[in-house]
């Protein structure tokens, strides 16, 4: 029965039961962590052969990977990920261990130099704004905020960000210079941008001539089921829409091989690639090509990556299934929460009773279960409804995920009961 439909007496009995359950939970002295989207040690183990690679330092084209040079990254690793990301090899560069770093570089280049289609460096503009689909990735928002860029939120739907709302915003406001989106298995909702939504985003008229879509395809390959959701080929789509320089695609092997020692990729129009490398060449004599060769030898080819990702799914899919099972068992009948059932990615988006997310996270913390701070998936950490909680089940062992989720359910019920009792 929905919690909101209970009589005062029933609610009081419910609260007594939940308080008792919560006290039992606290008494267990747990120390569990569902905060960050990190791979587990078991997942990292899948790539341990990397530690003994490469077996040679000479690349296929004769390059001595140990020395300086090769700003665009090693050809063999670019070829593998060009195929996986559906771009041409000359439209992709391979760099260091973090795609977030590449996003920051592009943003800094836009600020200090201007994009290929900018009239002036962005710092010369009076104001700069970005569109941020919410809920979204907290590090995107922190980065924008660090540069004083104003963030305008739009809703993230099952087929991607609200393209009509975005089109309406950007058509007259030249200070809106770009937007971020995680197109496949989005952080945290797991939603994937449809071909139709992507087509609108790359084709819509923008007052800013240099509007950029930061297409952060972090989870392009991270399927949880046999459904291998295809990412939209946004670069070709933008080119055929007459806005070839609008999207810049980012990806990495952070959640494929080693989170801290992988390879990051940037893909875009050849003009954008030339622009990026032109600025990059001022501060780099080339990325770690030994690590590129290490990864190329490890994967062998694109199918090698696909097979590798299925091993990840075998490890983490049961954790996502546990989240789904426990939330359904514990919460469904009370009608106080909704949550996503992602087909890929790293997160489950849990919306608890509006007004209670902060309290749920607080209760969980007191019981030894660390959750991402409430509101983290919104710019400046401000969830207007205080309902959103991002669950990250990949890192802890399955048994801990189960215990933690049961605890989270108890906290969500207790917080909902408290809230309804007060109102």
- Determine the Cα–Cα distance for residues 50 and 197; give it in Å rounded to an integer: 38
- Could you say whether residue 289 binds its own copies (CB under 8 A)? yes
Interatomic CA distance for residues 400 and 407, integer angstroms: 10
**Residue of 245, 124, 247, 152 lying closest to 193 (CA atoms):** 247
Which of 14, 137 has the CB closer to its own copies? Answer: 137
- Binding-site size, its own copies (CB under 8 A): 54
Residue keyed to tokens 């795609």: 99
Could you give the residue ranges of the DSSP H alpha helices within 116-162? 138-146
Residue 101 C-beta: closest distance to its own copies, Å: 5
Q: Which CB atom, from 111 or from 182, has the smaller least distance to its own copies?
A: 111
In contact, 276 and 93? CB cutoff 8 Å: yes
List, in order, residues 6 or more apart from 108 with CB less than 8 Å away: none
User: Binding of its own copies at residue 47 (CB under 8 A)?
Assistant: yes
Number of alpha helices (DSSP H) and beta strands (DSSP E) in the chain: 13, 13
Q: Which helix (H) or strand (E) holds 151?
A: strand 150-157
Contact by Cβ (8 Å): 188, 377: yes
Candidate residues 209, 260, 274, 384; the one interacting with its own copies per rule CB under 8 A: 260
Binding mask of the shown chain, residues 164 to 203, with x at each position contacting its own copies by CB under 8 A: ----------------------------------------
The residue behind tokens 């992988």 is: 262
User: What is the distance between the alpha carbons of residues 355 and 336, in angstroms, rounded to a whole number?
Assistant: 11
Residue with tokens 């983490």: 316
Q: Give me the 345-384 binding string for its own copies, x by CB under 8 A, dash otherwise.
A: ----------------------------------------
Residue window 267-286: x/- pattern of binding to its own copies, with contact defined by CB under 8 A: ------------x--xxxxx
- Pick the piece of the chain touching its own copies (CB under 8 A) from 43-51, 161-169, 231-239, 345-353: 43-51
Position among 26, 36, 165, 311 found at the interface with its own copies (CB under 8 A): 36
SS3 (DSSP) at 161: strand
For residues 108 and 239, which CB has a smaller minimum distance to its own copies in the complex? 108
Nearer Cβ to its own copies (65/153): 65
Which residue lies nearer to its own copies by CB, 97 or 243?
A: 97
User: Site residues for its own copies, window 133-152 (CB under 8 A)?
Assistant: 139, 142-143, 146-147
By CB under 8 A, residue 96 contacts its own copies: yes
d(CA 354, CA 217): 30
Q: Output the CA torsion 257→268→163→103 (10° steps).
A: 60
d(CA 77, CA 300): 9
Q: Is 51 in the site for its own copies (CB under 8 A)?
A: yes
The reply to whether 290 sits near its own copies by the rule CB under 8 A is yes
Query: Cα-atom radius of gyration of the chain, to the nearest Å?
Result: 23
DSSP 13-33: HHHHHHHHHHHHHHHT---EE
Select the span of 16-24, 27-35, 58-66, 409-417 touching its own copies (CB under 8 A).
58-66
In the complex with its own copies, the residue whose CB is nearer, 151 or 413, is 151
| Range in contact with its own copies (rule: CB under 8 A) among 27-35, 52-60, 242-250, 357-365 | 52-60
- Contacting residues toward its own copies, per CB under 8 A: 36, 38-39, 41, 44, 47-48, 51-55, 57, 64-70, 96-98, 100-101, 103-105, 108, 111-113, 123, 139, 142-143, 146-147, 254, 258-261, 279, 282-291
């Amino acid at each position: 029965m929905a919690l909101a439909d209970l009589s005062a007496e029933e609610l009081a009995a419910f609260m007594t039961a939940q308080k008792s359950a919560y006290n039992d939970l606290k008494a267990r002295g747990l120390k569990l962590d569902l905060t960050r989207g990190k791979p587990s040690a078991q997942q990292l183990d899948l790539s341990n052969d990397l530690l003994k690679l490469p077996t040679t330092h000479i690349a296929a084209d004769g390059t001595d990977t140990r020395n300086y040079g090769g700003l665009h990254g090693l050809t063999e690793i670019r070829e593998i990920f060009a195929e996986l990301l559906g771009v041409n090899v000359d439209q992709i560069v391979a760099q260091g261990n973090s795609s977030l770093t590449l996003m920051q570089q592009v943003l800094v280049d836009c600020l200090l130099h201007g994009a290929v289609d900018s009239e002036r460096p962005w710092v010369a503009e009076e104001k700069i704004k970005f569109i941020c689909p919410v809920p979204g990735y907290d590090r995107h928002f922190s980065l924008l905020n660090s540069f004083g860029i104003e963030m305008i939120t739009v809703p993230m739907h099952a087929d991607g960000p609200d393209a009509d709302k975005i089109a309406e915003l950007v058509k007259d406001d030249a200070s809106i210079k770009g937007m971020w989106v995680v197109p496949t298995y989005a952080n945290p909702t797991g939603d994937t941008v449809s071909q139709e939504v992507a087509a609108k985003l790359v084709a819509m008229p923008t007052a800013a001539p240099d509007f950029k879509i930061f297409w952060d395809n972090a989870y392009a390959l991270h399927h949880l089921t046999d459904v291998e959701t295809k990412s939209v080929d946004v670069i070709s789509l933008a080119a055929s829409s007459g806005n070839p320089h609008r999207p810049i695609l980012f990806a990495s092997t952070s959640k494929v091989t080693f989170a801290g020692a992988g390879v990051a990729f940037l893909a875009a129009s050849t003009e954008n690639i030339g622009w990026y490398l032109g600025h990059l060449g001022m501060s780099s004599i080339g990325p770690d090509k030994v690590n590129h060769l290490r990864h190329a030898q490890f994967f062998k080819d694109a199918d090698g990556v696909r097979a590798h990702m299925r091993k990840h799914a075998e490890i983490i899919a049961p954790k996502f299934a546990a989240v789904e099972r426990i939330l359904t068992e514990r919460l469904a009948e009370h009608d106080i929460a909704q949550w996503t059932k992602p087909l890929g990615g790293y997160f489950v988006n849990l919306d608890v009773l509006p007004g209670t997310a902060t309290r749920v996270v607080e209760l969980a913390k007191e019981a030894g279960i660390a959750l991402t701070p409430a509101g983290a998936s919104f710019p400046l950490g401000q969830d207007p409804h205080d309902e959103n909680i991002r669950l990250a089940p990949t890192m802890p062992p399955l048994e801990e995920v189960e215990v933690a989720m049961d605890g989270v359910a108890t906290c969500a019920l207790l917080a909902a009961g408290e809230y309804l009792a007060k109102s």
